[in-house]
Amino acid sequence: MSLEGKKLGFIGTGKMGSALIKGICNAGLFAPSNVYASDLYEPSLDELKKNVGVNVSTDNAVTVINSDIIVLAVKPQILKKVISGIKDDVSSDKLIISIAAGVKLEDIEKEFNEGTRVIRVMPNIAATVAEAASAITQGKDATKEDAEDALEILSSVGSAIQVPENLMDAVTGLSGSGPAYIFPVIEAMADGAVYEGLDRNSALILAAQTVLGAAKMVLETGAHPGELKDMVTSPAGTTIRGVRTLEDYGVRIAFMNAVIESANRSKQLGK
């Protein structure tokens, strides 16, 4: 295993950074003692120290110096400032992984010293429960082993693929933002069942499991979603009535537009 003996660092412990730290440690890929995290917001550090057991600091240099792989889990707006504070501590034997939405590899690399190895990643919040959908793209100085390391880290908390950088905005619109599209769907499905008399807790369990089961069928059968839909929709049955209602209200185009608008925003963030 190429990650054996390596130490992992996180700069930024907001929602996404914390989700990845917890997911990776829970998966057993890195022992908490080999994970370093830094942030200016001490409550998030205290929570990670107490509940996960990782090493924490308010000094980013501590994370960089002690880590072989450093994940930049900060917002795009402050990425440049963060890099300027650590770049002289990033030696050639360290790998940088950026999860800043929309920020291109070229713009990240030019902020570091020449030759810095960079991988750009778009994960999602489901890393918390080891079901993230992530994509990586490789910088000009990053090696094949670097890409394999990044894929191994992301695969420990879900599924991960490698894509060309010009598709990363599409990934952001789809899987990066996608959980936020599905949570209201689960809530709305449950609301419908509550309207029909089911108690709230039961409705949420059934709605969430229905979404999970449908997704698992797509992944494990390899069948087209349309084919799977047809398996459930009997002639003049209950399901086709529901499907028609979704079509009447434009659910399909609404989801398409959500992905497209999110991808467009990712492109704007990278300018």
| pLDDT tens track for 237-250 | 999 999 999 999 99
pTM of the model: 0.88
Q: How confident is the model at residue 1 (pLDDT cuts 50, 70, 90)?
A: very low
Q: What is the per-residue pLDDT for 268?
A: 87
Average pLDDT over residues 175-191: 97
Q: What distance in Å separates the CA atoms of residue 171 and residue 160, rounded to the nearest whole number?
A: 11
- The mean predicted confidence, pLDDT, of the chain is 94
Q: What is the per-residue pLDDT for 120?
A: 96
The CA-based dihedral angle spanning residues 197, 201, 205, 207, taken in that order and rounded to the nearest 10 degrees: 40
Q: What is the per-residue pLDDT for 271?
A: 73
Quick: pLDDT tens for 184-219: 999 999 999 999 999 999 999 999 999 999 999 999
Domain boundaries, the chain: 8-170, 178-269
CATH annotation of 8-170: 3.40.50.720
Cβ atoms of 74 and 94 closer than 8 Å: no
> Which two structure tokens, joined as six digits, stand for 252?
């399909």
Average pLDDT over residues 113-122: 94
Q: What is the per-residue pLDDT for 101?
A: 87
CATH annotation of 178-269: 1.10.3730.10
Quick: pLDDT tens for 211-229: 999 999 999 999 999 999 9
Q: Cβ neighbours of residue 73 under 8 Å, at least 6 residues apart?
A: 10, 11, 12, 13, 14, 16, 17, 20, 99
